[in-house]
Structure 1
Amino acid sequence: MNHRLRMFSLSRCRRIAWQATVVVCLAVMMVGCKIEKVEPESESRAAEKASPNAIKTAEGEDIKVAYVTNGIASFWVIAEAGCNDAAEELGVECSVLMPDGAADQKRTLEELISLGVDGVAVSPIDPGNQTGILNDVAEATNLITQDSDAPDSNRLAYIGMSNYDAGRMCGKLVKEALPDGGEVMIFVGRLGQLNADQRRQGIIDELLDRSNDPTRDFDPADEVLKGDKYTILDTRTDDFDFAKAKGVAEDAIVKHPNLGCMVGLFAYNPPNILEAISGAGKLGEIQVVGFDEDDRTLQAIIDGHCYGTVVQNPYEYGYKSVEILSKLAAGDESALPEGGFLDIPARAIRKDNVKEFWDELKVLTGDTDATEQ
């Protein structure tokens, strides 16, 4: 594993001229996309950095792939570290693109088609309405999904976890945090995105003691759902607007004085929920359970202000995406996971294992010098 634990800050500096071309092409079209401009290197400098074990296409050409996120969040910075380490190890070029919204993501994918990349890994924002553009990408190059799936598209594989099972795992954390039952509210960037819908349904089914059924129809977001012990009051969305994420949490605290637990489904939700609770003077009074590994969430678990979080492995999402796409571009179809699904299981993080997990995360992202708070 040592070769995969390189410094994140160094690996980011090793992107080369093709990525700058992607940046220039996409920046014209997407104001909201977080893309860093990388200056082209000289041929001699690029050759100096090239991996001696670089893999090539069947025609002997350099391999260029793209990793497209579903938004801008700390979660994707970790995935980017995995992308960069895999690209450096395999001697390929990977551009990590973070569009802001469905329209930007569509334009990103269209531009990648025109650039003729050798593979694309994408987390679809609206899979039900994106089948057309996803199939266009699949026709032009190797397409896989990661983090959130689009099973009706012609993607070759999905890299991630069962979001429904992760939702049930999150529901179990809520039960631990609120053992006597109570009122629960869910917060998420958007619904209609498959990972969000599946996580939410998993939480609901767990809290209402339903059978394990990933195919169950999604419960309406605007209905109060009551079980024997738990009541899900509402699901609030924020469209990836961080100020709004805090605002809807603040509103919920005021509107529901008996609120027992607030659940955040995307990486930035728990920190904004915690800010809202702190502002209301209710830290420790309202339980918080989250998803993902934002530093603020992990610190809150250490401090006792957040009960726990369900984490994925975004580093592996990035690493495996680049690895699979690169091998496919080189003609190695055995790189595809059996059944078209590479399962990277979720983990439940509580106070008893948060430090060990955070230390592992710092090594993966090259943040070993970070001062612990």
Structure 2
Amino acid sequence: MKERQSSKSWVSKLGGSILALGVALALGLTGCSSGQQAGTTVSKGPNDQLTFVAIFKALGNAGVTAAKKGMEERAKEIGNIKVEVTAPSAPDAAAQVQLIESYVQRGVDGLMVSSLGPSVCEAIDSAMSRGIPVITFDSDCPDSKRLTYVGSDNKAGGEAAGKLYAEAVKGKGKQRIAILTGVLGSQNLTERDQGFQEGLKKAGVDFEIVKTVPGNDDVPKSVDAVESTLRGDQSINGFFFDGPWPFLVEASNLPTLVDRTKNGGLTVVAFDTIQPEMDAVKNGLAHALVGQKYYGWGYQGAQVLDQIVRHGAKFDTVTATGFDLVTKDGGEGRFTPDEMDALWQSYAFKETPIMPPSK
């Protein structure tokens, strides 16, 4: 499969007690990673070296590259911050939990986590209880102890996708739509799917979700899922990809999708706006793309963690970064494929550091 690219005796006794207390306190603080104790942030100065780690679901895609560049850029602007980016070798919650535990043991100064599910959320709670500040991005753990979620509102993004789909099918009758997802149960993908359907409803589209098929965050498996779904049901006239996977390969790997979009009235809207997907819009395989601000994940993630660790800042439950829309003709509030392509070539994404809300 081709891929794109934390008196004297009395005085003496008191002094001894104070000394003992001081030693005990010092030992207690030493036992807490990164100057944190029981989840309470202790501010560090501008000359203190910090280490922040972003834990993704998987590596090897343009979104990760952009986030890493954003994280490095903001770390450079602030100074005295080392950043690391990692992920399991394949999307696996147990492996992600192990990574979180290893960085807690190392005593890093902050973690950014894109969660793969409930066990990861529990690991986040454990990290917080042991003094490591944790924020989430991309895929949230809203019921966990994480300090904030930095990223796009996935439900709002899904709703935007539904509205874009409605634009494309206006006057075309009932829509029998299939959904391609990644790992079933992922919080972010579930929210996108829910938002997509709400967007369709608000736009007055007559639709039925025929089935939801998983591709397990894997490009070949996602391509197979799309192709087999279309071959197995000729009545499907719509597809929503809640991630980019099928559009990360050459169109020749998707012969059924190509034929149905060109000749069978199939309408496709996909999430993510990473560079390889631009061809899908240019070639008419996708009507529109809705994407998160991947560079912003890293840039704003480093910013938020620094504000928390160095300044004791508190952020709202969600620190929203917005999202981008790509359509063939662009327009107000949208990008054309060429405009988004240019941003990916230069990584000249525009970000303004997010500050904690004033109370």
Both proteins in one fold, TM over 0.5: yes
Give the deviation of 1:250 after TM superposition: 1.0
Say yes or no: does 1:61 pair with 2:48. yes
Note the 1:1-373 alignment, pairs <5 A.
Answer: 57-58=44-45, 60-72=47-59, 73-91=61-79, 92-99=81-88, 100=90, 101-126=92-117, 128-139=118-129, 140-179=131-170, 180=172, 181-209=174-202, 229-271=206-248, 277-279=254-256, 281-284=259-262, 285=264, 286-330=266-310, 332-334=311-313, 336-337=314-315, 339-353=316-330, 354=336, 355-364=338-347
Report Cα offsets for 1:315-338 as digits up to 9, x if no partner.
Answer: 0111011122123222x123x43x
| Cα contact 1:75–1:267 (8 A) shared by 2 | no
- Which residue number corresponds to residue 6 of structure 1? none
Structure 2 unmatched runs, 5+: 1-42, 331-335, 350-359
Change in CA separation of 1:186 and 1:58 when aligned onto 2, cut-off 3 Å: same
Give the deviation of 1:308 after TM superposition: 0.7
Change in CA separation of 1:147 and 1:78 when aligned onto 2, cut-off 3 Å: same
User: Which ranges of 4 or more aligned residues in structure 1 deviate by more than 6 Å?
Assistant: none
Query: 1:94 corresponds to which letter in structure 2?
Result: V
Report Cα offsets for 1:98-151 as digits up to 9, x if no partner.
Answer: 22221221111010001100000111110x333321111112311111112111
d(CA) in 1 for partners of 2:283, 2:210: 27
> What secondary structure does 1:104 align onto?
helix
d(CA) in 1 for partners of 2:323, 2:121: 27
Change in CA separation of 1:90 and 1:228 when aligned onto 2, cut-off 3 Å: closer
Query: 1:239 corresponds to which letter in structure 2?
Result: N
Give the deviation of 1:251 after TM superposition: 0.8
> What secondary structure does 1:70 align onto?
coil
> What secondary structure does 2:125 align onto?
helix
Change in CA separation of 1:294 and 1:59 when aligned onto 2, cut-off 3 Å: closer
d(CA) in 2 for partners of 1:103, 1:348: 34
| Cα contact 2:94–2:119 (8 A) shared by 1 | no
Give the deviation of 1:202 after TM superposition: 0.9
Question: Aligned residues, how many?
Answer: 291
TM-score by length of 2: 0.75
Q: CA RMSD in A?
A: 2.3
Query: 2:70 corresponds to which letter in structure 1?
Result: G
d(CA) in 1 for partners of 2:63, 2:205: 35
Query: 1:360 corresponds to which letter in structure 2?
Result: L
> What secondary structure does 2:139 align onto?
coil
Max Rg structure:
2
Change in CA separation of 1:136 and 1:317 when aligned onto 2, cut-off 3 Å: same
d(CA) in 2 for partners of 1:316, 1:132: 26
- Which residue number corresponds to residue 16 of structure 2? none
Report Cα offsets for 1:301-324 as digits up to 9, x if no partner.
Answer: 122221110011010111011122
d(CA) in 1 for partners of 2:307, 2:278: 35
TM-score by length of 1: 0.72
d(CA) in 2 for partners of 1:351, 1:152: 38
Query: 2:208 corresponds to which letter in structure 1?
Result: T
d(CA) in 1 for partners of 2:308, 2:164: 39
d(CA) in 2 for partners of 1:76, 1:327: 23
d(CA) in 2 for partners of 1:74, 1:275: 21
Report Cα offsets for 1:137-185 as digits up to 9, x if no partner.
Answer: 1123111111121111111111112211111111112112222232111
Report Cα offsets for 1:207-248 as digits up to 9, x if no partner.
Answer: 2449xxxxxxxxxxxxxxxx9621210110021222211111
> What secondary structure does 1:136 align onto?
helix
Query: 1:75 corresponds to which letter in structure 2?
Result: G
244-253 or 293-302: bigger deviation: 293-302
| Cα contact 2:219–2:248 (8 A) shared by 1 | no
Give the percent of matched residue pairs that are identical in Structure 1 and Structure 2: 23
Query: 1:282 corresponds to which letter in structure 2?
Result: R
Give the deviation of 1:365 after TM superposition: 6.1
Give the deviation of 1:273 after TM superposition: 10
d(CA) in 2 for partners of 1:98, 1:247: 24
> What secondary structure does 2:112 align onto?
strand
Structure 1 unmatched runs, 5+: 1-55, 211-226, 367-373
- Which residue number corresponds to residue 32 of structure 2? none
| Cα contact 1:79–1:319 (8 A) shared by 2 | yes
Query: 1:278 corresponds to which letter in structure 2?
Result: P
| Cα contact 1:249–1:272 (8 A) shared by 2 | no
Give the deviation of 1:287 after TM superposition: 2.1
d(CA) in 2 for partners of 1:168, 1:273: 28
